[in-house]
Chains A and B, each alone.
Chain A
């Protein structure tokens, strides 16, 4: 019988396959375990990030122009809608300032210096996005030198978009909440419903529905569609009160023992040019 591969090639193929699978599984395990990537990886990332930053200038400009052109088409209807909301915003702004002052004064009276809701933001620009099939990661132009640490939450135009998954010296990777790896979207959240707050954690991301999933919610919890979901701050690294999204669907789990909530993320994950990294004051 004619041999397709020689014995030597077969052995090499098998050994090569095992080495590559070992490398993939090992580096994935190492990336989860460690807070700082190895020196070689950090140097390559910083160099590539530097070059990507240069290249991103013209390509981002083209992207901005194209985006502006697309936005121009719905300017009229958007303007009409925004004008309607403007009065409400002015009123809310005044109310927010009053509440903030009151909160500050109450904290002083209680001797509280920093709480879960205190955080500062570090602005950053997206210089690249992984052109890969299964992971959704951004590369931003700030790193350890700007005080960034692995696990910090990252916000887009209107809420949480992900978590820092790798921090190099001058750039960092953001694992988006749409990334299906376990450590990118497992954070503590609170659902603000009409009948009180319900705490829980994001347990999954449904890649087919493009929604976050909050599982194991007691059947007694009264949750409805369009209820707001924010971070709860439990766990320490992620401050409380960052907008995550809104409830899109409330279902039962496969055994009918608890509820399963689908959350529509508030930020548009397809176009993220500028981000804010939230640094909890408790952590610093």
Chain B
């Protein structure tokens, strides 16, 4: 890989990552009417989708991927929760599981989305149990599953599917 390609990926990838990190919170604030309806709670996870694309489209080896994962996890912890460790652990766990399972999935979009769903489940479960550990997560398992996990999974699977080919095209150009 030429050095200009390395720099292009290492500048564009984290820049988009930071933008998506902020956009996650902005979408939640500006589209609250649609994302938080009654008991249903759909959380946009554009940042995790971007990490999934890097794993799925084979560009994670061309950059310090896990450094970016840790930095975004720490930023999430500082800016959104104020409690260190939760989202760092969740992002690391989800990315690690997706990376390890990726060789067992073929390159079709549906297989990729299944891999992302698994990563998303790891991420949501880690945050849920971390909330239980520190005594701030009081939702029952059933309520968590029906009102949060299901709508969140549907929303993010749809988003990941819509941006799958544009994401692939962009990462191929960058990598």
Interchain CB contact under 8 A, B81 and A130? yes
Interchain CB contact under 8 A, B89 and A20? yes
Interchain CB contact under 8 A, A24 and B139? no
User: Could you say which of B19, B138, B140 has the most chain A C-beta atoms within 10 Å of its C-beta?
Assistant: B138
Q: Which residue of B lies closest to A41 (CB)?
A: B78
Number of A interface residues at 8 Å Cβ cutoff, please give it: 56
Given known A-B contacts A131-B24, A181-B136, A270-B36, A28 and B83 have beta carbons under 8 A apart: yes
Given known A-B contacts A131-B45, A132-B43, A134-B128, A59 and B80 have beta carbons under 8 A apart: no
Chain B interface size band reads: 35 or more
Asked if B3 is an interface residue, CB under 8 A from chain A, the answer is: no
Q: Can you list, as one digit per residue, whether each of A256-284 has a CB less than 8 Å from chain B (1) or not (0)? A: 00000000000001111100000000000
Interchain CB contact under 8 A, A56 and B30? yes
Asked if B87 is an interface residue, CB under 8 A from chain A, the answer is: yes
Interchain CB contact under 8 A, A182 and B135? yes
CB distance from A36 to the nearest CB of B (A): 12
CB distance from B152 to the nearest CB of A (A): 8
> Is chain B's binding surface mostly helix, strand, loop or mixed?
helix
| Docked complex: B19-56 residues within 8 A CB-CB of A | 19, 22-39, 41, 43-45
Q: Can you list, as one digit per residue, whether each of B83-118 has a CB less than 8 Å from chain A (1) or not (0)? A: 111111100000000000000000000000000000
Q: Which residue of B lies closest to A269 (CB)?
A: B36
Report chain A residues within 8 Å CB of B43: 131-133
Report chain A residues within 8 Å CB of B128: 133-134
Report chain B residues within 8 Å CB of A66: 31, 33-34
- In the complex, A54→B27 CA distance in Å? 13
Asked if B162 is an interface residue, CB under 8 A from chain A, the answer is: no
User: B residues within 8 Å of A by Cβ?
Assistant: 18-19, 22-39, 41, 43-45, 75-89, 124, 127-128, 130-131, 133-140, 143-144, 148
